[in-house]
Chain A
Amino acid sequence: MSNKIVSIRELKREFRMGAEVVRALKGVTFDVEPGEFVTIMGSSGSGKTTMLNILGCLDKPSDGKYLLDGVDVGSLSRNELAVLRNHKIGFVFQSYNLLARTSALENVELPLLYNSSISSKMRHERAVKALEAVKLAERLDHLPNQLSGGQQQRVAIARALVNEPVMILADEATGNLDTRTSYEIMALFQELNQQQGKTIVFVTHEPDIAAFSSRTITLKDGKVVKDNRNTQVRSAREMLAALPVAADY
């Protein structure tokens, strides 16, 4: 149990909208093992976003259990959840969410600023290392508006890596990118997963993206309808190489 990254049992989440009760998740059960690359698929209204919020410790389940790296999330306070997010989760958002007019390095350092056990020297070193891992070592001082969409997302991934989380949680991380760039980003995720053994949970509605992961969980109407291992994981790097070179490139 405790060596699992995520352990979800009969998880329910209900929202009260006036007199009506909306049941977004109706008893979801699954585990995520260390080193897995899981995509959570589902159309809108499937409970995908609610699942993401709970996985990301931004929201708490109404019923059922959610253990993240052995910690029972349901019993934690708002502040304890914040500390848990800081230590154990790395978020990557669809719209990058970088701080404007703030250098790539400072953006990556941000999660460590909220961790008082890390010195400023260590913070700097780890941020540089994270940016090297996403191949942006040359652009430490660039501001977000001086970077392309793909580069911005790589800064965001570096920010998700810098606190050495147990799980990277990506929310439609390629949604704002063109095909080529999204393959580049997926190649980076695959590399982090395969070479560095990072556990990645990727929420998306594109089956195309799911093909790059080792396992796909499909949600529908608040329930898991499919949970299958992907036997033929596609390599994003190969896909990228196979893409025709566009004329305007």
Chain B
Amino acid sequence: MKLFNLIRIALKALQRNKLRAFLTMLGIIIGVAAVIAMVAIGQGSKQSIQDQLSSMGSNMITIRPSSNQTVGGGARLDASGLQSLTLDDVKAIQKQATFITEVSPAVQSKGQVINGALNWPTTIQGVSPEYLTIRDWPVKDGISFTQEDVNAADKVCLIGQTVAENLFGTGEDPVGKIIRFNKIPFKIIGVLAEKGENAFGQDQDDIVIAPYTTVQKRILAIPYIQNIYASAIDENSSALATAEITDILRTSHKLKPTDEDDFMVRTQAELINTFSSTSQLLTVLLTAIAGISLVIGGIGIMNIMYVSVTERTKEIGLRMSIGARGIDILFQFLIEAILISITGGIIGVLLGIGASRLVTLFLQWPTLVSESSIMLSFMVCAITGVFFGYYPAQKASRLDPIEALRYE
């Protein structure tokens, strides 16, 4: 018996019962569509979180002061008031660290920027020129400031897109204009490319960037620095870089082995892992639910195949009497079950992709249909067909032709 003939026979049998075949398929269709859509939503949110985190610079390492001293009654000091990081630390890291490519000190201040009649509350970030490399942040128009500007504490700045939009009308070129930050005039020498929101929903483009010396001396009037940004050679070496920085800073801070660190080192990789594991859990849960519906679809197939075998006992008897062997009958019903599940799988995949698109379109949720989820649900479908189709098919193949023919 040729396989082709068997497929023909199975197709004909399904054609004779189109509605029932479709209703049986429905379970699989919904199951597969659910798997595809759920995985797409899960993967999409994971991807968008990763993208957002990477937009902050995926190799970026942040060093913040942390309180290791207690005052008076044992209360720890607020970190923002700490002055434990200095320019010497930056220089020490620059000189000694081997897993670090760029280092930049950083000081921030909040304030109002004013351009003529327009004003906007924002943050000024005082950094060194390396900062833009660390953040992987290109200048769209104009130029960046240089080490000379830092040395001279020049009143120059770069502005983010949000600041540009709020202080300048359309068609107006901010480069070369003078704006005031807390009454201190800054010359805009460049506009930064758009960066979008970060993983916490903060607008990264709402910023003014200036040489750290300028911010230290002219705005904050402080000698210390608030943060240090650095970038590791690559994402994988961020753990090594962290250890290295910790060593360097402990030495330069002259901490005894028993002392706690008076700083904190955080990497983007840690953040990415935290967020990824959350969305990973979400994906697993959604997939499990969708998987259950697939199994229910499979049981639906089994149920219908059993009914079908009973209902078509006479047909089976006839087929046997005209020369169908047990294995021909087995394959006929098995192929019917597989055709139902695979056709259902194909429709389900298409429906799942469609549903993902709709979710993106109407709910603005990011979705990502992965090939692996399509392959996986497709394989599960085929296996479901074989698994749930086998027993009814075997029952059919073992019928006694005499009794089957007499069955009413």
Contacts and interface: CB of A to CB of B under 8 A. Distances in A.
Interface stretch (B183-191, B237-245, B313-321): B313-321
A184 B374 CA distance: 60
B400 to A, nearest CB: 8
Contact of A79 (B319, B322, B325): B325
Contacts of B20: none
A78 B322 contact: no
A113 B5 contact: yes
Given A58-B401, A78-B326, A115-B323, A100 B1 contact: no
DSSP majority for the B interface?
helix
A101 B322 contact: no
Interface string A147-179: 000000000000100010000000000000000
Contacts of B401: 58
15 contacts: A58-B401, A58-B402, A59-B402, A78-B325, A79-B326, A82-B320, A82-B328, A86-B323, A97-B318, A99-B318, A101-B15, A114-B1, A114-B5, A114-B328, A159-B322
B254 interface: no
Interface of B: 1-2, 5, 8-9, 12, 15-16, 314-315, 317-328, 401-402, 405
B5 A116 contact: yes
Of B8, B326, B402, most buried by chain A (CB within 10 Å of CB) is B402
A233 interface: no
A223 to B, nearest CB: 22
Contact of B322 (A53, A91, A102, A116): A91
B1 A116 contact: yes
A94 to B, nearest CB: 10
A91 to B, nearest CB: 5
Of A101, A106, A163, most buried by chain B (CB within 10 Å of CB) is A101
Of B9, B15, B401, most buried by chain A (CB within 10 Å of CB) is B401
A83 B321 contact: no
A152 to B, nearest CB: 13
Contacts of B2: 116
Of B322, B401, B402, most buried by chain A (CB within 10 Å of CB) is B322
Given A99-B315, A101-B16, A102-B16, A114 B402 contact: no
B12 A82 contact: no
Nearest to B401: A58
A82 B324 contact: yes
Given A58-B401, A97-B405, A99-B315, A111 B16 contact: no
A91 B319 CA distance: 11
A17 B2 CA distance: 39
Contact of A110 (B1, B15, B322, B326): B322
A100 B2 CA distance: 23
A110 to B, nearest CB: 6
A183 interface: no
A87 interface: yes
Q: List the 8 closest pairs (A to B, CB-CB), nearest first.
A: A86-B323, A82-B325, A111-B322, A101-B16, A114-B323, A97-B318, A79-B325, A85-B323
Contacts of B323: 82-83, 85-87, 111, 114-115, 163
A97 B322 CA distance: 11
Contacts of B16: 99-102
Contacts of A102: 12, 16
A195 to B, nearest CB: 24
Contacts of A82: 320, 323-326, 328
A114 B12 contact: no
Nearest to B16: A101
A87 B325 CA distance: 13
Contacts of A83: 323, 325
A113 B405 contact: no
A113 B4 CA distance: 10
A202 interface: no
